[in-house]
Every structure is written in structure tokens, then in C-alpha cells.
Structure 1
Amino acid sequence: MTTPQADKPSCSLCLFQRICRNAGATPALDSPERSLSPASMLWRAGETVHRQGRPVLAVFPVHDGSAKSVFESPLGWRQVTAFAHPGDVLGLEDHDSQAHCTSAVAMQDTRCCVVPIEAVRAHLLRAEYREPMLRTLRRNTERERTLLVAIGSMKAAQRLAMLLLDLASEQRRRGNSGAALTLAMSRNDIASYLGLTLETVSRLLARFASVGLITIRQRQLHIVDPAGLSAVYEDPERVPIRPPAAEPDSSPAIAPSKPLPLRPGTAGPALA
């Protein structure tokens, strides 16, 4: 374990910024309110930060890197439910849950602070710390509700546009407005999160690029036309993201064969 340095926006966005000795300017480190001094750990890409069903022993503010939350049903199928970036907190459960509701898996080399759950609960007794925590939980719940509506009601293009706009918004919140998005998640992860197939995600990304909404180079994605992407999110029919219709065949038409007469009592041809 090491001590993180407060040299990135992750500390200023962290829930524990006001009480953490590792965050803020040096003169503030002597403040009696800064009673938290968490160590940090590094998880390599693919490693699990915490597991679904295991007791909640700590929460993990993300300092560098990114992770995905994965829910596994008793039947064995898996669903990506969220993506976490610097400043987010992994393992923060609602309703004072005693066990983790999902697993958190690092999508790239990811460093997190480790805050014991006893320290979290102690600070929740004070209103000035409880309200930011509840505000974060409400925000997470709202994002989950938006995702459920998208999967249940929106078309595939709308879902993908929603995700890209959300990632861009989160990047602006971290002070990186206008920069290219680094897609740490795989296309399989995106497909699982949005309730789509891998083929659909790949096809839509290609279409978005072909009409000038985005550019993609390896894992770097740049939103070229935010207004156009927002229009797709609102109504995918307003933006020509579908491939052009095929040219009519100029070859001579073949006359259809005459249908065989039906005998009395037989059914007609089935409709497709």
C-alpha cells in the first residue's frame, strides 16, 4: 500500500475530500477535521476490487484508472451496470447493505484509496458529511433509472448516444472538456451495459463515424458534433445514421409464376 498524492481532480471530486489528509492544500493538513488518512492499492486490468455477496469491509475511491460494476444473477448471467472513473467511489452501497450488491472489476490498471467501512459510518453521523454521501447515492440511483428507461424504451442508436454524451459530461466534470474520450471499456462491456449485441455496438459506432458525429482511433473517441449526437439521443430519425438504400436492380424483371389453384377445403399460403 502507498499514500496517494492529491495531484489530480479525483481528490477534489471525492466524497472524502474534506476529511482526507491526502487531499487539499498543505496548510489544511493540520485541520482537526482531516482525520482520514487512507492508504491506496493498485489493481491490474481484469482484477477484482470487491466481489458481489462479500461483506462490505471498505469503500474504494478511484484515484487513477477506471472500473466496471458487474451484477451476476443466481442463474449465472452477467450484466455490466456502471462504469467508475477518478473521483467515483466503488463499493458504496445503498440502504446500509452488509454485502456488496455487485462486483467491481478494473478495466485498466486502477489505483484506489481504501477507506474502512467503520470510518465511513462514523462520518455519516455528522450531517455535513452525510448529505454529500446521500447526494451521491441519489445521483447513482438516478443514473440507474435512466439506464433502465433507455434499455426498456429507447432504440439502439439512442442508447449509444446517451452513453457517449454521459462519458463526455463526466470528462468535463473532471476538467477535461474537449479532450478525446479514452474508452477503457471494451465493446462487449458497452453492449452489456446498454442491453445490445456486440455487432450492434460496432455497427452503430461505424455509422456515427461515417456521418461525422464522432471519430475513432483505436480506443480514442472524439465527439465531433455534440449537437448532432444529442439529436440522435432525442430522436434517431432526425439524423441520417442509417445506410443509404440499395440502388434498384436494373436487370429485367422476372415474371412471377402463376399460383397453383387451390383445391376446395385447403388453406391459402401462410403470411410471413
Structure 2
Amino acid sequence: MDLHRIKVACSSCNLRELCIPMGLAPEELEQLDNLIATRRRVRRGGTLFSAGDPFTALYAVRSGFFKTSVTTADGRDQVTGFQMAGEILGLDGIVQDKHACSAIALEDAEVCVLPFDKLEQLSRAFSTLQHHVHRIMSREIVRDQGVMLLLGSMRAEERLAAFLLNLVQRLHARGFSKSEMVLRMTREEIGSYLGMKLETVSRTFSRFQDEGIIEVKQRYVRILDPAALEAIVNHNPAHDD
């Protein structure tokens, strides 16, 4: 893992609307530019931080893709999330001053390092930044609740349909296609995240392809019928008998 101490200009970053600096005034952006003096590169398969590491910073993903995971009591790795450019890693460490999960790069990636003590100081000075940090935390809570809903009340096809729609929508917000994507995670990692066995994930992908909803070529996925995916997600289990 390479550590580069170079100036990162938030004010000119093409991810600024998805990241911390949203809505900041020019003078506030300048101070944030001074705060974020480090980028860190993480090679594919490398670890940004591990569960139990001291919490010192938040990390804004500048490029690449990450997964977060925890180790269960029986020694299995449980995937808890996937993060892409413009999203924040490390919020799990705030409560106990140490990270509760590990963050692993699924492809070569780069993050901007935001020292948390300095970020807190700046947030107290600029209410806009403080409000945005709170919004980021709230977004993570909502996302966690969404995952709990996936795992608690949805059937396998509903879980995978919701996952694909969420992923392509997040990618589209970053300027990518609204119908095509390359999955950076394996089928096994998708299954771990969605609480599905590998065979179930593969079988559900095949079913969606057979029904003409998606086209799949290894990790390439093209959504042919987004309305059909939406219909699967919004399916009412009460009519399932």
C-alpha cells in the first residue's frame, strides 16, 4: 500500500457533489483542502483498515471499489457493505475509537484521508460541513436499515433484484451507464452480503437471464428490463400463496 502526501484539491474534485464538500462556501473549501493533505492507494486485495485497528480518520473513496466485512463467531467473513467512489469509509470506528469491520479493496483504489479530530474541529467552525457529516452518518444508518429489510423480509429474487437496482443507480449517479455495469465483487461476496448461498445467487442470476430481465457475461451485467426488476422488488408477499 503506497502512501502519498500530496495536496488534494476538493474544490476541483469531480466527486465533490457526492462527497464531503457538498454545499461549502469557497473559503470553507479552502480550509478543507488544507485538511485533506493525504491520499492513500490500496492495491486490489489490500486492506485499508482492519477490525480492531485504532480509529483515526474517515476515508473518502476517490477511485476504486471496497467491501467491508466482519468476522463472525465461527470464523466466517460476513460482508457488510460495498463502497464506491464518492462514498465514505470508517464511520464504524467512531463509537469505540476502533474499527468494528475491515475494509478491503476489490480493485486498485485510492482514498482521501480525513483525520477525524481535525474534521471535528472544522465541523464546529462550519455548520454546513457539520450538517453534511451528520447527513453522511444518517445515510449509513438508513442503508443499514435497508440491508436489515433485505435480509429480514425479502425472498432471494427480491434481494438480488434490489441489490442490482441499488448498485446501478449508485453507479449512474457517478456518470456511468444506467443499464450496464461490471461487478467488482464475486458471486460469493454478493451471497454473503445478501444472506444467500452461492448456489442460490448463481441460480437467481440465471433465472433473471432466462426471463430476459438481465444479460450476464461473467462479471458484466446489463439490465434489459429495469421495470421487471422493480416489479420483483415491490412484489407483495401477501399474494404469494
Same fold (TM over 0.5): yes
Q: In the TM superposition, what is the alpha-carbon distance from 1:124 to its structure 2 partner? A: 2.8
| Structure 1 residues 195 and 41: alpha-carbon distance in aligned structure 2, compared to 1, 3 A threshold | same
Aligned to 1:115: 114
TM-score, scaled to structure 2? 0.86
Whether the aligned pair in 2 keeps the contact of 1:62 and 1:86 (CA below 8 Å) is: yes
Q: In the TM superposition, what is the alpha-carbon distance from 1:14 to its structure 2 partner? A: 1.2
Q: In the TM superposition, what is the alpha-carbon distance from 1:42 to its structure 2 partner? A: 1.2
Aligned to 1:64: 63
Aligned to 1:104: 103
Q: In the TM superposition, what is the alpha-carbon distance from 1:179 to its structure 2 partner? A: 4.8
What is the letter of the counterpart of residue 219 of structure 1? R
* Superposition pairs of residues 105-184 of structure 1, within 5 angstroms: 105-125=104-124, 126-184=126-184
Aligned with 1:189: secondary structure? helix
* Superposition pairs of residues 11-22 of structure 1, within 5 angstroms: 11-16=16-21
Aligned to 1:88: 87
**Bigger share in strand:** 2
Q: Hey, what's the Cα distance between the residues in 1 that align with 2:111 and 2:72? A: 26
Q: Hey, what's the Cα distance between the residues in 2 that align with 1:67 and 1:37? A: 20
Q: In the TM superposition, what is the alpha-carbon distance from 1:174 to its structure 2 partner? A: 1.4
Deviation sequence 1:69-112 (CA, Å, 0-9, x none): 10113442221011000001111237544111111000111111
What is the letter of the counterpart of residue 120 of structure 2? R
Deviates more, 1:139-148 or 1:177-186: 177-186
Deviates more, 1:111-120 or 1:42-51: 111-120
Q: In the TM superposition, what is the alpha-carbon distance from 1:213 to its structure 2 partner? A: 0.7
Q: Hey, what's the Cα distance between the residues in 2 that align with 1:115 and 1:38? A: 8
Aligned to 1:217: 217
Deviation sequence 1:41-71 (CA, Å, 0-9, x none): 2111111101111111222111111000101
What is the letter of the counterpart of residue 219 of structure 2? R
Aligned with 2:184: secondary structure? coil
Q: In the TM superposition, what is the alpha-carbon distance from 1:225 to its structure 2 partner? A: 0.6
Greater relative contact order structure (CA < 8 Å, 6+ sep)? 2
Q: In the TM superposition, what is the alpha-carbon distance from 1:216 to its structure 2 partner? A: 1.5
What is the letter of the counterpart of residue 109 of structure 1? D
Aligned with 2:132: secondary structure? helix
Q: In the TM superposition, what is the alpha-carbon distance from 1:18 to its structure 2 partner? A: 6.4
Deviates more, 1:224-233 or 1:9-18: 9-18
Aligned to 1:233: 233
Bigger-Rg structure (1/2)? 1
| Structure 1 residues 236 and 216: alpha-carbon distance in aligned structure 2, compared to 1, 3 A threshold | farther
Structure 2 residue ranges without an equivalent (≥5)? none
**Bigger share in helix:** 2
Q: Hey, what's the Cα distance between the residues in 2 that align with 1:91 and 1:187? A: 25
Deviates more, 1:117-126 or 1:100-109: 117-126
| Structure 1 residues 187 and 32: alpha-carbon distance in aligned structure 2, compared to 1, 3 A threshold | closer
Structure 1 residue ranges without an equivalent (≥5)? 238-272
TM-score, scaled to structure 1? 0.77
Q: In the TM superposition, what is the alpha-carbon distance from 1:188 to its structure 2 partner? A: 0.7
State, as a whole percentage, how many aligned pairs show the same letter: 31
